[in-house]
Amino acid sequence: MIRGINNALRRIPVWAVWLAGAVPFAVLLWDIFTGGLGVDPVQEVEHRLGQTALYFLIGGLAVTPLLRLTGVSLMRFRRAIGVICFAYALPHVLAWVVLDMGLLWGQMARDILKRPYLLFGMGSFLILIALAVTSNNLSLRRMGGQAWRRLHKLVYVAAPLAAMHWLWAIKVNEIAPIFWAAVIALLLASRLVIRRPMSWTRPARS
């Protein structure tokens, strides 16, 4: 069964993932131009971009536990998932800078230093920049596999920071940010608990 799923997955070209990743952005553009963003379009644009980035970040984190637990491999798509995450994080930050803060650089700088949720968000974003610019074969070759892998393990820091960024920004306990923070904690913990593929994922010797 797993082999069947993996064979089917192998037939999906990576560009299909890129295309799927563009769908939330297309929907957002559609809503911007048709007035579907409600009374406060600035906040809606900002929040949707940020949430979509987080969902792709979680998607990228889920690839390894899924492989170890079930044997289903999405490894071929992981780089695309990660870069799509950054492709939402970048306009999320730009939406904050341009639309929300209106380019008030002084206030933005003071706010980032003073407010934990912005500091967490910026920390996560800086890591994502480093991961995104090295997400190509040339960087992998130049840095060497070991160093490249070490760098990309920083995603284990970026994800909790992004979750705290959301949690710290809200006024009362809301379900969505708590749920996604728990999912991130679970995915990271699973890496410690499940260190190698489970026995049932290995195909029986023929």
Partner 1 sequence: MMKLNWSDVTPHRIFLDRRKFMAAGAAAVALPGLVRAQTINARPSPLSTDQTPNTFEEITNYNNFYEFGTGKEDPARNAGALTTDPWSVEVAGLVDRPGSYGVEDLAPDNALEERIYRLRCVEAWSMVVPWIGVPLASVLAKVGVQPSAKFVEFETLVRPEEMIGQQRAILDWPYREGLRLDEAMHPLTILATGLYDQPMPNQNGAPIRLVVPWKYGFKSIKSIVRINLLEREPVNTWKQLQASEYGFYANVNPQVDHPRWSQATERVIGAGLFGGRKETLMFNGYGDQVASLYAGMDLSVNY
Nearer to partner 1, 9 or 169 (CB): 169
CB 104 to partner 1: min, Å: 6
Shortest separation between residue 32's beta carbon and partner 1, angstroms: 7
Q: Which is nearer to partner 1, 55 or 117 (CB)?
A: 117
Q: Give me the least distance between CB of 54 and partner 1, in Å please.
A: 18
Other CB atoms within 10 A of residue 87 CB: 19
Are the C-beta atoms of residues 166 and 54 closer than 8 Å to each other?
yes
- Cβ atoms within 10 Å of 170's Cβ, excluding its own: 12
Residue (107 or 136) nearer to partner 1, CB: 107
The least distance separating partner 1 from the CB of residue 39, rounded to whole angstroms, comes to 4
Q: Which is it for the CA torsion 92, 123, 75, 188, positive or negative?
A: negative
Smaller CB separation from partner 1, 24 or 59: 24
Which residue ranges make up the site for partner 1 (CB under 8 A)? 32, 38-42, 45, 98-104, 107, 110-111, 114-117, 168-169, 171-174
Q: Is 145 exposed, middle or buried (0-12, 13-18, 19+ CB in 10 A)?
A: exposed
Nearer to partner 1, 55 or 168 (CB): 168
Tell me whether residue 188 is exposed, middle or buried, using C-beta atoms within 10 angstroms of its C-beta: 0 to 12, 13 to 18, 19 or more: middle
| Identity of the residue, 117 or 156, whose beta carbon is nearer to partner 1 in the bound complex | 117
CB of 37 to partner 1, least distance (A): 9
What is the Cα–Cα distance from 129 to 86, expressed in whole angstroms? 7
Least distance in angstroms from the C-beta of 43 to partner 1: 8
Alpha helices in the chain (DSSP H): 2-10, 14-34, 41-70, 78-94, 105-114, 116-133, 137-143, 145-152, 155-169, 175-193
